[in-house]
Amino acid sequence: MAIQLAAAITSFVIAFLIVPVIIKYSLRKKLVDIPGRRKIHKRDTPSMGGIAIFLGFFISSLIWIDIQSWGNIKFILVALFVIFFIGVRDDLVPLRAMIKLMGQIMAASLLIFLFDLRIKSFYGLFGVHELPDIISYAMTYFTIIVITNSFNLIDGLDGLAGTIAILALTGFGTWFFLINDSIFSILSFSMVGAIFAFLIFNWEPSEVFMGDTGALVIGMMLAILTIRFIDLNYNLSEYSPYKFNASVATASCFIIIPLVDTLRIVILRLLKGQSPFKPDKSHVHHAIMRLGMTHGRTTMILGAAQILYIVLALIFRDFSERYVLTGVIVLSFILSVTLDRMILGRLSTKEVDERESDEPEVEGEEA
């Protein structure tokens, strides 16, 4: 673990030194996110913090991954470079959604065809194992794009995206270390260190946002780690103390907040007859803030929820895929419905209080 810790410290120092430079330069050049109707922040805020995250991660990875171990790993960094430049371009001059999607497909193609990162089976889910190549490729493209964009969607609150990313990356990185996959462990912890440095400036009240530059890179990295985890875990020996019987369900627990949030907003928008791609304030962090929570408390609540899922995955590690996945889906549904009921209850109470405050007071008769 010494190398992983060194990688995290290296990326932390690099990112910590770069973030203030980005803040100062962005304010001078007016490269800021301006408050608007759908924005929660109240002041112009630099939105290029993702540059520091990527540079810290990239330089640290170059330093601490043994040159003899590079092999096809270079294609992962090339794919992340593609996503990084798409994010920078979008933060500077917004890109059309289709252009961003094409860039993500290009990066995914590098991973699939040059690194051979693929979902090669259903891993026993629904009784299905090996998949035909065409379905394998389609499933991998879908998984990479969904996870990448789902993480980008939760980047709407001070400290939230960074906190969720740190928890997921630490979980994945620790597991890869335990099974002796040092390269992916170093990649994970290199990004953890950079995000920690960024969070110092991103906690409420935020001085900088990671923007699409950071959110897309982190989302793509989580997609890579998720697929890698599912495939390696499934093929671990039955006698390995680090094997989870439910590969897909366990991986989903590590990134549960972005996944549930994305599914939730798609369902809510479709129920309203709206396009699932229409921006609004129906995200789970918006919902929690309607209960009167601050940015910091909302982030801690969602972080605690993610930790809960990871702990449950550890507790039920010997259960089969169908049971763990069913439990994850049911628990997510219950928590989502409970949150919506709490919001409705608060709104009803607020309406009653407002009506009572508007009623004229009636003076009593004098005796």
The Cα–Cα gap between 147 and 134 comes to: 20
pLDDT of residue 361: 46
Q: 344, exposed or middle or buried, with CB in 10 Å at 0-12, 13-18, 19+? A: exposed
Q: Which two tokens stand for residue 147?
A: 């996870």
Neighbour count for residue 323 (Cβ, 10 Å): 13
Q: Is 62's pLDDT higher than 80?
A: yes
pLDDT of residue 53: 97
Q: Kindly state the percentage of the chain with pLDDT values over 70.
A: 90
The DSSP code for 121 is B
Q: 294 vs 361, which has greater pLDDT? A: 294
Q: Is 127 left (phi over 0), alpha (psi -120 to 50) or beta?
A: left
The answer to pTM > 0.75 is: yes
Q: For 306-360, write each residue's pLDDT tens digit.
A: 999 999 999 999 998 889 999 999 999 999 889 888 888 776 666 555 555 555 5
Q: For 98-130, write each residue's pLDDT tens digit.
A: 999 999 999 999 999 999 999 988 776 767 778
Q: What is the mean pLDDT of residues 161-174?
A: 96
Cα distances from 219 to residues 87, 169, 193, 215, 223, in angstroms, run 11, 11, 16, 6, 6
